[in-house]
Structures are given as C-alpha cells and as structure tokens.
Amino acid sequence: MSDSHAPTKPWSGRFNEPTDAFVEAFTASVGFDRRLYQYDIQGSIAHATMLARQGILSDSERDAIVHGLKQIRKRIEQGDFTWSVSLEDVHMNVESALTEAIGDAGKKLHTGRSRNDQVATDIRLWLRDEIEQIRDAILRLQTALLDKAELEADTILPGFTHLQTAQPLSFGHHMMAWFEMLERDRERLADCNRRLNVMPLGAAALAGTTYPIDRHMTAELLGFSRPAENSLDAVSDRDFAIEFSAAASILMMHLSRFSEELIIWSSAQFGFIELSDSFCTGSSIMPQKKNPDVPELIRGKSGRIFGHLIALLTLMKSQPLAYNKDNQEDKEPLFDSVDNVKGSLKVFADMVPAINCRKEAMRQATMQGFATATDLADYLVRKGIPFRDAHEVVGRAVAFGVAEGRDLSQMKLQELQRFSSEIEADVFDILTLEGSLAARDHIGGTAPNQVRRAIARARERLAS
C-alpha cells in the first residue's frame, strides 16, 4: 500500500519548489524495488555495525539502529508497513521509518555511504541468493532427467539431423544431452556469482568517503569475497546484471529447444511421447485437442528473457561514469528474468517425470528412415573396403530399399550381396536397431550400457 502524504525528501534542502506530482510518480522505483527490503536492511545492519566498530557511531546508536531495522523488517513481512512514493525507493522508505521509530540515531545510519553504493550492494546481495536458487532448480531438473534417462536407457528413439532420420538413439542418451546442456548453465551461473560477489558499499556516491570506514569488515559481514577496488567503477558497474542475463538467456534457449522437441514428439504426426494432462490444455472449439501449452509458453518466454539482455546492454552502452538515473531501469528486467527462469525450471522439473514414452511408435519411426545405413557402411569398412566406396555401396542399397519400400534389415542376404560380395550373413547382427545402439560402445556413445555409465558419472558430479 502507498500513502498520500509527502514526507520530507532527504535531498530537499537544495530545492525551493516541490517535485511535480507526475514526475514524483514517474521517477519513483519503490513500486518494484521494495522486494529488495531484506537485503537493504541486511546491508544497513552490517554498515551500522562497522560504523560502531570504527567509533563513528556509539554502541547505543548501533543497537538502536539494528533493533529498529529488525522491527521494520518484521513489519514489512507482516504486511504492516506503508510504502511512500514520495520517498522514491526502498532505501529511503526504510530509513525514514527508522528515523521515525528511533529518532536522530536513524539519521546517522547513512554516514559514509550513498544511495549509489547502497543500491549496487542491495542488488548484488539479492541476485547472489537468486542465482543459488536457480542453480538448485537446475539441479532438480537434472535429477529428473537422470531418472528418466535411467528408466529409458534401452528405449529406441530415432535421432535426427536436419529433422531427417539419421541414426538410432537411446531415449536415455537424448535425455543425457539435455543434462549436459543444463550442467553448462549451472557452471555459468556459478562463475557469474563469483564475479558478482564483490562489495560496492563504502564507495559512497562515486569517490569514497572521508570517514575511517573498514570496508573489509563490512564485506566479511555480508559474505562478499572482497570490497570493490575502485569506487567509481563500484557504483556504475552493471556487468554482473548483464552477465546474469546472458547466462539466463542461454539457459532459456536450452529450455526452448527442449520444449520444441517435446512439442514435436507429442504431436499426432510423431506420437513419440504423451505429456501428462496436468501440463496441457484443451481447445474452446475443438474437443479432441490436447495442447502442449507449458512447453509452448516456455518456448515463448525465451524471447522475453533475450529481450531483457538487450535492454540491459542498451541501458549501459552510452552511460558516462559514474551513476546515472538510467540505472534505475536495471531492476525490472532482472526481476522479471529471475521470476520467469525460476518458474520455467520448476514446471519443467515437474513435467519431465510425467513424460510417457510410446516405445513402439518410436521404434517404427526409426525403421522408416534407413537409420542403420551408417552401420552397414562401417561393416564394409571393417571388411577392408575404403569408406568412400562403402558409402557408395550403401547409397545404392538404400536407393533400392526406397524403391522397394523396405528397410535394410528387411532385405534378403542375396539382395544385399548384389551391392557388395563382402556382405555376409553376420550383417544382420548390426542392421538391427538394438545392434546399432550396442555398437556405439564408448564414452559419450548411445549404447545403453554407456548411457547407464554416463548417468552414474553424472550423479557423482551432482553429489560433489
């Protein structure tokens, strides 16, 4: 809720006229940055603790400030706090309430800092926690993929290139490809958090402060790896927000690709899988429809996250040092990206275990595209035929199969021998779909036993 009165602004001494009402509302950020309140209070408690240690505040002033901030946090959590647009942002709302509650000691809290370094600190504290929550959500989805891969390690799925049948795959192997994509996302976010975890507080407006502050102490209290080295850079840097948005965009691109495959596979034309009713909707006019709305929406949300990355890059590209009001626009794209990434990961982790594989449909589709042609070429190479010649032989055999409407495995030995006298009865061991899968028995291959080994290694990686 917001109040209608206009409290005195912290910078009002310089001005002779009140702020225009529309401008006041237009420039205020409290409508969206209030979600940073717990990090703003956390930073202020650490700052007050440091100021007292340095003799800038008395112990009684520190205690009053810390107690007052904790009470304000409790009021906000209980919904008993009035947010004022007139006070512009979360920082001044909290500080004004503190001063109202404890008197002049509250006015001393801002000693040695500026809203410039305060907001930069708040957003880093918030994003640091959110990144860890996102990494946990990725891990939950990865675990669901491992479980599904283990269950379907022997299930045969047609592998595609150019969306044309290429070679047989284990469905579990396909799930493990998704797992690896997500593992890179998890690592990227960890790396992003490492660079993010540098403290701006104490940089003040842009040049530092004349007070004898201990920035290393404050950084330690807030769990930062170190204080920022340069005060000018500290207040104007938003690289961490851009880097997170880039990592979030790659993550959403991956989820969009997963979604596209689920949408295709669940269509009547493919029929490889069935999605649970819980993640689909119907049509208002066509009673037979079962629409894969959840993966479709996630596919759509990827563009939204990409847009936020471009917005942040554009926001920063022409800004001179140091802080500018433009930077108020960094929060809404970040907030929306975090919310939608977390939501997409949650629903995906819930959806994957409920995927029902239609194994016979997958098998029949794999039989339709001469998926074992490469296996026949490899067979001939092992017989001493150069690969390019073997390629030509198999190409002619496939052309015959297309004309006859039969797969290679459905031809008679005598028919195959028309194309090469090196072909013998043992060829049928490798022309079966199971034989094709089993033959790729090396690390990273689609052989079911290799899929199970990959799953075991992946579980060890997650556990460590």
Give the active site residues.
Answer: 162, 283
Q: What is d(CA 230, CA 240) in angstroms, rounded to the nearest whole number?
A: 16
Tally of residues, the chain: 464
Alpha-carbon torsion (418, 424, 426, 430), positive or negative? negative
Q: Are 158 and 366 in contact (CB under 8 A)?
A: yes
Query: Residue 170 in 3-state DSSP?
Result: strand
Q: What is d(CA 464, CA 462) in angstroms, rounded to the nearest whole number?
A: 5
Q: Which of 215, 163, 171, 117 is nearest to 357 (CA)?
A: 171
HEC letters along 91-160: HHHHHHHHHHHHCHHHHCCCCCCCHHHHHHHHHHHHHHHHHHHHHHHHHHHHHHHHHHHHHCCCCEEEEE
Q: Are 305 and 228 in contact (CB under 8 A)?
A: no
What element of type H or E holds 218?
helix 215-222
Residues 86-98 as b or e (16 or more Cβ within 10 Å = b): bbbbbbbbbbbbb
Q: Which of 246, 262, 326, 325 is nearest to 295 (CA)?
A: 262
Query: Residue 412 in 3-state DSSP?
Result: coil
According to DSSP, the residues that pair with 273 across neighbouring strands are: 357
HEC letters along 262-322: HHHHCCCCCCCEECCHHHCECCCCCCCCCECHHHHHHHHHHHHHHHHHHHHHHHHCCCCCC
Q: Are 340 and 348 in contact (CB under 8 A)?
A: no
